[in-house]
Amino acid sequence: MIKHLFKLVWNRKRANILIVAEMFFSFLVLFAVVAFGLYYADSYRQPLGFSYENVWNIFVISRASDPQNVLTTKQMLYQALKDLNEVEAVAGAQTAVPYESNRSRRRHSHRGRSILVEVGRVTDDFKEVLGLKIIHGRWFEKADDALGWDPVIINQRFSREMFGSEDPLGKNIASAKAIREVRVVGVVSDFRKHGELSQSVNFLLERILFQKPSFDNFMIRVRPGAPATFEEKLMAQLQAIVQDWTFHIRPMSQMRASYLKLRLAPLITAGLIAAFLMMIVGLGLMGVLYQNVTQRTKEIGLRRANGATAEHIYKQILGELLVITTFGVAAGTLIIVQFPLLRWFAFISGKVYIISLAISVAMMYLLTVLCGLYPARLATKVHPAEALHYE
């Protein structure tokens, strides 16, 4: 039966080649959308490594040219923020603020092994503001001021890639431009600064001293139940200290919402395009099949006259359509399995990749069956006597 179906499709290859091409391109687009969708879904369910609830970010634009003036003013701002009753904790941060696109990268090495790592610079209260979890070692502390080397905190991913099963504490991982030794004092859970829809990356946190506040962001943890007027009060407090500086205050929940919209917009657009393309393919299949049934009335009538039941005709029409789909899906699959070799979609795990391929194949066959039900049903209504009209 299957061999006969392939033969029927091959005999009508000129009429079927366009459908196969539509299936091929639709399958590629569908796979891309499904793969990205599952990748985002898988990333979303992974732990963030920090808490964004009740956290606000204050981006500061300084207009002072005197470094000492900048230092003094930031110290005053820090103290004013701490004195607010609505504020639980205050920290300074640079390239470490979640949901911001800015980043700093550097290569750190240990025993000849060099790894690219993303770097964030933070003050000692950063852990309390974002609720970071120390899983090994310790956090920065006041006693670090007297050290003759620079302490750093790394995340789990960086620890695994750099040290494997070794204990990272106390290891020197200085970069090429480092003046002093850089030693690991603690390990935090995977800090996913770039949000729920991003993959985990190697991350390193450096310590900022308030004697040299080289940061542009104050991060505060606000007490639960703070009134809606707190933002206005906060702005007034900051501008009372320095009027010619600019402050951009944003709750991190708003930053997260903007981030999700920005990251999901391309996927939603691609999904709409894929849905429109699948609709066109489905309508095209129904139209072509309807035309085929009309043109093959003689053939179907003769088969009915020779004893073929309506069920046999129904299976034949659907079977031919499934064979056509198989050609398109097989060609698309041959292309898709080459992507990992070319390092395309390398950020997607093998498990997500295989599941995406399986779902895409299933959706293509489901579309085929749904689009073929009505034309196949029409074919079963052809009466054997109708074949005599073509004699």
Of 384, 269, 336, the residue nearest 35 (C-alpha): 336
> Are residue 239 and residue 106 in the same domain, yes or no?
yes
For residue range 153-163, list pLDDT tens digits in order. 999 999 999 99
For residue range 175-188, list pLDDT tens digits in order. 877 778 899 999 99
User: For position 37, what pLDDT does the model report?
Assistant: 87
> Is residue 133's pLDDT more than 90?
yes
Once rounded to an integer, what is the mean pLDDT over residues 352-365?
A: 91
- Position 383 in a domain: yes
Amino acid letter, residue 193: K
How much is the pTM?
A: 0.77
- Position 254 in a domain: no
Instruction: Give the pLDDT band (50/70/90) at residue 267.
Output: confident
Torsion angle (degrees, nearest 10) of CA 252, 256, 259, 264: -170
Report the domain count for the chain.
2
Which residues constitute the domain of residue 212?
63-244
- Position 249 in a domain: no
User: For position 375, what pLDDT does the model report?
Assistant: 66
> Are residue 86 and residue 212 in the same domain, yes or no?
yes
> Are residue 132 and residue 213 in the same domain, yes or no?
yes
Question: Could you tell me whether strands 55-61 and 246-251 are parallel, antiparallel, or unpaired per DSSP bridges?
Answer: antiparallel
Cβ neighbours of 182 (radius 10 Å): 19
Instruction: Give the pLDDT band (50/70/90) at residue 103.
Output: confident
- Mean pLDDT, the chain, rounded, equals 83
> Are residue 178 and residue 143 in the same domain, yes or no?
yes
Is the Cβ–Cβ distance between 95 and 162 less than 8 Å? Answer: no
- What is the C-alpha separation between 185 and 191, in angstroms, rounded? 16
User: For position 271, what pLDDT does the model report?
Assistant: 81
Q: What percentage of the chain exceeds 90 in pLDDT?
A: 32
> Is residue 66's pLDDT more than 90?
no
User: For position 342, what pLDDT does the model report?
Assistant: 75
> Are residue 143 and residue 270 in the same domain, yes or no?
no
> Are residue 119 and residue 156 in the same domain, yes or no?
yes
> Is residue 213's pLDDT more than 70?
no
What are the distances in angstroms from CA 252 to CA 59, 85, 188? 12, 19, 21
Contacts by 142-146 with C-beta closer than 8 Å and gap 24+? Answer: 144/185, 144/207, 145/209
User: For position 384, what pLDDT does the model report?
Assistant: 58
At a CB cut-off of 8 Å and minimum separation 6, what does 372 contact?
285, 286, 289, 317, 318, 321
Side-chain half-sphere exposure of 105, counting CA atoms within 13 A: 8
> Is residue 282's pLDDT more than 80?
no
Which of 180, 211, 244 delimits the end of a domain?
Answer: 244
Of 366, 281, 348, the residue nearest 34 (C-alpha): 348
125-129, 278-282, 350-354: which is most confident:
125-129
Cα torsion angle, 45, 47, 51, 57, sign:
negative
Q: 126-135, 195-204, 302-311, 358-367: which has the minimum mean pLDDT?
A: 302-311
User: For position 8, what pLDDT does the model report?
Assistant: 53
Instruction: Give the pLDDT band (50/70/90) at residue 314.
Output: low
- HEC per residue, the chain: CHHHHHHHHHHCHHHHHHHHHHHHHHHHHHHHHHHHHHHHHHHHCCCCCCCCCCEEEEEEECCCCCHHHHHHHHHHHHHHHHCCCCEEEEEEEECCCCCCCCCCEEEEEECCEEEEEEEEEECCCHHHHHCCCEEEECCCCHHHHHCCCEEEEEEHHHHHHHHCCCCCCCCECCECCCCCCEEEEEEECCCCCCCCCCCCCCEEEEECCCCCCCCCEEEEEECCCCCCCHHHHHHHHHHHHCCCCEEEEEEHHHHHHHHHHHHHHHHHHHHHHHHHHHHHHHHHHHHHHHHHHHHCHHHHHHHHHCCCCHHHHHHHHHHHHHHHHHHHHHHHHHHHCCCHHHCCCCCCCHHHHHHHHHHHHHHHHHHHHHHHHHHHHHHCCCCHHHHHHHC
Q: 174-178, 195-199, 274-278, 307-311: which has the minimum mean pLDDT?
A: 307-311
- Position 58 in a domain: no
> Is residue 230's pLDDT more than 70?
yes
- Position 250 in a domain: no
Which of 210, 244, 278 delimits the end of a domain?
Answer: 244
> Are residue 181 and residue 128 in the same domain, yes or no?
yes
> Are residue 170 and residue 240 in the same domain, yes or no?
yes
- Position 316 in a domain: yes
User: For position 159, what pLDDT does the model report?
Assistant: 93
Q: Cα-flanking dihedrals φ and ψ of residue 72, to 5°?
A: -65, -45
Is the Cβ–Cβ distance between 186 and 134 less than 8 Å? Answer: yes
- What is the C-alpha separation between 96 and 177, in angstroms, rounded? 20
